[in-house]
Amino acid sequence: MIYYLKSIRNFFSLRIFSNTLGFKNLSFFLFYLVAKIIFIFQKKKIKKEYSKKFDENGYILLDNIDVTDISIKISKLFFNQNNYIEPLRGYKFLRTAVAQNLNQEIEYIVLKIQDQIENIFKSNFKIYFTNIQRSFPVQNNIEKEAQLFHFDDNPIGTKKIFIYLTDQYQDSGAFRTFNRKISDLLKKKGFLSYTTEIRENCQNLALSLSKDNLKIQSGKKGTVMCFDNNLIHKATLPENGFRDLIVMEVFPAFKEINSKNISKSLSMSLEEPDYPRWPFFK
Ligand SMILES: [Fe+2]
């Protein structure tokens, strides 16, 4: 019976919201509507080309930025094993206490991309978490978890921003994703990924469309990419060297982004849920 109810919820929720969260999306929908209205009253101008491109594909490459200073600092931090944790094979994450010292540098980056992100959201935005990670080759790696095709199953409007601190190409760990159309098609065909077992069982379905449709988001150091968390995507370890990346999870907001929010996002532990349960209170 529960299985039957779940499949009905998934059927409708995936078609309306592209995730399986059902009614949970409503508070986010309302929150975003208010954020957009406030933005109009603040008389901020929107450049439609960003939102048009993003809405169509579910991802967008933004203007390159200069990351020379911060990438050198981060590279030095990864030399000292007290500065990071290794929650998964092939990944190091800077500890929050260490990452917080980079507040100013992160703020510099956010100011560079602020207008473009506002244009994508058509509202102000806030950062829920910021993490700084390094991935590297692992011998006999068996792809699992985020390295398998999946969608994050986050509430509508949840987006991620990737800031490339190293060149990232097919063999150097570039992110892979389907566009919105193919992601929706796969979900209609039954693609789900919210448990390990379901995720593993759905890999062949994603692979069946990957040959011509999987987009490798290659870019040189300084590339900024924004994507919808509910696209079907996967992480890939580099084959040699290492891949450094700043990851920010972003949501619409009522107020303009400020340094307090950036600092809070850097202090968010990896163990926290990957999205706020109540958009109005976070
Ligand atoms: Fe993901």
Residues 193-217 pLDDT 10s: 999 999 999 999 999 999 999 999 9
Is residue 241 domain-resident? yes
Is residue 272 domain-resident? no
Is residue 174 domain-resident? yes
How many Å lie between the centroid of ligand 1 and the Cα of residue 157?
14
Is residue 278 domain-resident? no
State the total domains in the chain: 1
Residues 36-88 pLDDT 10s: 999 999 977 788 889 999 999 999 999 999 999 999 999 999 999 999 999 99
How many Å lie between the centroid of ligand 1 and the Cα of residue 173?
14
DSSP string, 62-127: E-----HHHHHHHHHHTTSGGGEEEEETTEEEE-HHHHGGGHHHHHHHHHHHHHHHHHHHTSEEEE
**161 contact partners, CB below 8 Å, separation of at least 6:** 113, 117, 224, 225, 226, 247, 248, 250
How many Å lie between the centroid of ligand 1 and the Cα of residue 278?
21
Is residue 275 domain-resident? no
How many Å lie between the centroid of ligand 1 and the Cα of residue 152?
5
How many Å lie between the centroid of ligand 1 and the Cα of residue 40?
31
CATH number of the domain that residue 30 is part of: 2.60.120.620
Is residue 277 over pLDDT 90? no
How many Å lie between the centroid of ligand 1 and the Cα of residue 42?
33
How many Å lie between the centroid of ligand 1 and the Cα of residue 146?
6
The pTM (predicted TM-score) of the whole model is 0.95
For residue 160, which of 194, 182, 133 has the smallest C-alpha distance? 133
How many Å lie between the centroid of ligand 1 and the Cα of residue 45?
31
Domain that holds residue 101: 2-266
Is residue 219 domain-resident? yes
Residue 53 burial (C-beta neighbours within 10 Å; 0-12, 13-18, 19+): middle
Is residue 187 domain-resident? yes
